[in-house]
Chain A
């Protein structure tokens, strides 16, 4: 699903000149990979590069067999709306949209008919356990519930790749485990490739594989289950 070869990201202020170099990565459909590493090593930057939100200085990114490295800004934006799903640490649920509208947002961006967008959004909210609260406003939800809405939004349009950066960073450990299980379960069921950046060892252990990022690239680390 996702194949990354020799990815380089230079950063002039960095002591080594490059934030990371020679990053190789392959993630299959239905597989969830956790990326760990020290603070400042470039985990989030790697996700940004994979999403086309930051330019890369070398290497190749192929998603579903298509080379992405040379795409311009707008082309990447159109690709993101069709094939990417995002989950943020601070949820970023729009307060002026109802829950079902927040989830349907990803379908709207694809130009889906309103009926279809609403129906799919409702189904996704049911899957994350919020089916009864479709018309609620985000201000009435807890942090864990908001992240479940974000998971529904990330998956409603059946993306090929789901990128999640510290998705449980704002949640207490008990809620974090539940939300993470929900995320991984849905990514796997959707047949998407999932990349999860986290500082939390317990969160990383729930993934299928764990990779550690340093300036020389990604290195395998067996899950300690």
Chain B
């Protein structure tokens, strides 16, 4: 049996090198993409987690506040608690560096508290710095990664920004425990409070508990004494929350890679099925010689497993290469912005490698399953006298199975997410893809019936083959359906998203110019007098201040953004539910929540909402829900006047500046820089911000486009390998047609037309499946992953060009794939007769 397996079955892989190579490549690409996504995110998360562990050190619990900070009186209170053995206060600021794009994570720490709680943050002063250098107000200590990224060394000056003022600090040493992947800096907490205008404020307190005190018990006790807007978490929970930020994105990319692998599995199916069809008589002969059904099936599965294993191993190698390239070219977050400041490195993980290699084997086995089953069912006597290789390509329409898959998808779409991941949504997509492939035979029959009759013999032959041998379309089209469905669904989703984003940007950016001292998370801000100074500049018609803060609404969720801006009339927010005007006379002040807040906190218009502002809890009425593409974890919008009245916070992050008619934006921009500083503010036109946002959007979908291209290429491989194998199997048919008077050119056109028709049916079914998958992506997957709604938009022109190009390429691929079979002499092709 071993000899039969080696020579007849595994040897067959060598005898059809093109099909084997393309199958290997398809499996390898699917495995490589999946592994690369996994490796990249694992490495980024590992480094990210390492950073968080470095920050939390030996802490048992962490008190976390909003970015804006909380009163440091809590620190003193906690030190007096019996449960607390040690406490270390931290003020974390994302410092803007004037004249640079990057910001720097600066931790203000009490160096005397670090050894007991966060020893990893202990700074090492440079030679000559002195033992107490860390306490000096203008000293800063950089991790190796930060020093390297900023191009500074000990003794150099580093300028940071607070408000719109610049402050020079001296790089005075390093953070030896920070390693090479963390970009951060440490300075004395009092100096940091003063420098960044955060006197008396902390953002975090790390606690070590007294001996014998359980973390959970202490957490419950301490939670009761915290002011509103603060959370007490174990470091692991904080880590989990941080990892959760990118989970949906990671799962989405993983699913895309899985679909690429699935498409590879279809390609294995195509090549294996064709190879089984071509070897029907060999199998019948072997069966007649005594090979059992079971052994035949096992041998064919072994073929698939070998294909999958080789593809899997190739994919593992390629995956590591792709990961290294991605780290070098795109960054650890694949362009999505989740892991800023993290510099991970490629790691070899044996179990992961083994798992992905096995996924390749699984794809090979799955692709070989149906062909192996069909071969095992073969009746030897019938196969030995079969008139043609086509006999194995007969398929029946499977409308019931198609319908069952569609119904399954519909039911799955109604299921809620599991742990924030739309598992049922992805299962629905798998059902839709299966429905598409199952619908192929029936769709082929319909296409053959509706295609118009034409006088051309080539057209008639191709049309007759479409109706008479739908199996050919199924074999060639299965990979096309999956890849077109994937590509078109992503195209529809991305187009819908882009158009919705464009519309959203227009509504969120109504002014002519926008001014900010830094992004809302960084250390730049505008003082209370700045709006009036700007309003007084020539050419400025009106100024609307915007304040952005961070609120912790729950221990279990990441903070949400508070956005305070003028909200007076319809159109001030892109509402999807509720209203803006007519809120007078309500019992509570209005708040407008983003869709993410509505989903994550189960809130609707009219519900009551408690917001912790400046350490006090205020109640609001949800007046509406708005679409927000900028803040994935949610945002709450308040009217600025209301916010200021409640908090007394007069600082501003952004200014929306409307210009007088005829005013020159460039002149106003120059005036703003003169008034507020050249390096410390950023001024941009609404169009500029919009264009930048769309550029970032496009960049974040770069990996998606790459995966689409791979899936489409795999689909085309499917057409090429199927037609190469079919053309080879049909040499006698072509010989006969040449006898009957078809020219070589006409046989070439026949192959091209058959390829085009098979691809057209695959593309049509793929587009329908793709539209359905796009709907699931928009309405289920995106809603459950990112809590974003969008308006569906079909990029008809783009899809038509894509479909036309694919059909054209398929025709070309079929024509080229059949060239070898066509070159053979008609006489030789039928030589067993003449």
Residues of A within 8 A of B (CB): 44, 47-48, 51, 53-54, 73-74, 77-82, 84, 86, 88-98, 101, 105-106, 108-114, 137-139, 146, 165-166, 169, 197
CB of B179 within 8 Å of the partner chain: no
In the complex, chain B residues whose CB is within 8 Å of the CB of A74: 743-745
In the complex, chain A residues whose CB is within 8 Å of the CB of B736: 86, 88, 92, 94
Question: Nearest CB to that of A54 among chain B residues?
Answer: B827
A-B contact pairs, 11 of them (CB 8 A): A73-B743, A80-B741, A86-B736, A86-B740, A89-B834, A92-B732, A94-B388, A95-B390, A109-B457, A109-B740, A139-B391
Question: Would you give the shortest CB distance from A63 to chain B, in whole angstroms?
Answer: 14
Given A48-B827, A113-B455: A139 touches B387 (CB 8 Å cut-off): yes
CB of B673 within 8 Å of the partner chain: no
CB of B738 within 8 Å of the partner chain: yes
Give the residue of B390, B455, B744, B834 whose beta carbon is less than 8 angstroms from that of A111: B455
In the complex, chain B residues whose CB is within 8 Å of the CB of A88: 736, 739, 830, 833-834
Given A48-B834, A95-B390, A138-B387: A84 touches B741 (CB 8 Å cut-off): yes
Residue of B469, B825, B830 with most partner-chain A CB within 10 A = B830
CB of B826 within 8 Å of the partner chain: yes
Report the count of interface residues on B (CB-CB < 8 A). Answer: 34
In the complex, chain B residues whose CB is within 8 Å of the CB of A79: 741
In the complex, chain B residues whose CB is within 8 Å of the CB of A91: 387
Question: Would you give the shortest CB distance from B743 to chain A, in whole angstroms?
Answer: 4
Give the residue of A77, A93, A98 whose beta carbon is less than 8 angstroms from that of B743: A77
Decide if B453 touches A114 in the complex (CB within 8 Å).
yes
Given A44-B834, A96-B464, A96-B468: A77 touches B741 (CB 8 Å cut-off): yes
Decide if A92 touches B733 in the complex (CB within 8 Å).
yes
In the complex, chain B residues whose CB is within 8 Å of the CB of A81: 740-742
Decide if B469 touches A109 in the complex (CB within 8 Å).
no
Decide if B739 touches A89 in the complex (CB within 8 Å).
no
Given A73-B743, A92-B733, A106-B740: A101 touches B464 (CB 8 Å cut-off): yes
Decide if B830 touches A90 in the complex (CB within 8 Å).
yes
Decide if A53 touches B460 in the complex (CB within 8 Å).
no
A105 CA to B461 CA in the complex, in Å?
8
Question: Would you give the shortest CB distance from B279 to chain A, in whole angstroms?
Answer: 17
Given A47-B834, A90-B833, A166-B833: A96 touches B739 (CB 8 Å cut-off): no
Given A53-B827, A97-B464: A89 touches B832 (CB 8 Å cut-off): yes
- SS class, residues of chain B in contact with chain A: helix
A82 CA to B740 CA in the complex, in Å?
9
Decide if B739 touches A80 in the complex (CB within 8 Å).
yes
A99 CA to B631 CA in the complex, in Å?
67
Given A51-B739, A73-B744, A77-B738: A95 touches B469 (CB 8 Å cut-off): yes
Question: Nearest CB to that of A92 among chain B residues?
Answer: B736
In the complex, chain B residues whose CB is within 8 Å of the CB of A101: 464, 468
Q: Which 9 A-B pairs have the closest CB atoms?
A: A81-B741, A96-B468, A96-B469, A44-B834, A80-B741, A89-B833, A92-B736, A77-B743, A88-B833
CB of B167 within 8 Å of the partner chain: no
- Other A-B contacts than A54-B827, A86-B740, A97-B465, 20 sampled, CB-CB below 8 A, are A47-B834, A48-B834, A53-B738, A81-B740, A89-B832, A89-B834, A90-B830, A92-B732, A92-B736, A95-B391, A95-B468, A96-B468, A101-B464, A106-B740, A110-B457, A111-B455, A111-B457, A165-B833, A165-B834, A197-B834
Question: Would you give the shortest CB distance from B274 to chain A, in whole angstroms?
Answer: 15
A101 CA to B387 CA in the complex, in Å?
17
In the complex, chain B residues whose CB is within 8 Å of the CB of A95: 387-388, 390-391, 468-469
- Residues facing A in B812-834 (CB within 8 A) are 825-827, 830, 832-834
Decide if A108 touches B457 in the complex (CB within 8 Å).
yes
In the complex, chain A residues whose CB is within 8 Å of the CB of B468: 94-98, 101, 137
Give the residue of A106, A112, A113, A146 whose beta carbon is less than 8 angstroms from that of B387: A146
In the complex, chain A residues whose CB is within 8 Å of the CB of B743: 73-74, 77-78
Question: Would you give the shortest CB distance from B182 to chain A, in whole angstroms?
Answer: 65
A110 CA to B827 CA in the complex, in Å?
22
Decide if A93 touches B834 in the complex (CB within 8 Å).
no
In the complex, chain A residues whose CB is within 8 Å of the CB of B827: 48, 53-54
Question: Would you give the shortest CB distance from A187 to chain B, in whole angstroms?
Answer: 17
Question: Nearest CB to that of A167 among chain B residues?
Answer: B833
Decide if B832 touches A96 in the complex (CB within 8 Å).
no
In the complex, chain A residues whose CB is within 8 Å of the CB of B453: 114
Decide if A53 touches B387 in the complex (CB within 8 Å).
no
Decide if B834 touches A96 in the complex (CB within 8 Å).
no
Question: Would you give the shortest CB distance from B826 to chain A, in whole angstroms?
Answer: 6
In the complex, chain B residues whose CB is within 8 Å of the CB of A78: 741, 743
A53 CA to B456 CA in the complex, in Å?
23
Decide if A77 touches B742 in the complex (CB within 8 Å).
yes
A39 CA to B571 CA in the complex, in Å?
93
In the complex, chain B residues whose CB is within 8 Å of the CB of A111: 455-457
In the complex, chain A residues whose CB is within 8 Å of the CB of B826: 53
Question: Nearest CB to that of A89 among chain B residues?
Answer: B833
A20 CA to B739 CA in the complex, in Å?
22
In the complex, chain B residues whose CB is within 8 Å of the CB of A73: 743-744
Decide if A108 touches B461 in the complex (CB within 8 Å).
yes
A51 CA to B738 CA in the complex, in Å?
11
Mask: chain B, 382-412; 1 = CB below 8 Å from A; 0 = not: 0000011011000000000000000000000
A11 CA to B468 CA in the complex, in Å?
41
A19 CA to B732 CA in the complex, in Å?
25
In the complex, chain B residues whose CB is within 8 Å of the CB of A105: 457, 461, 740
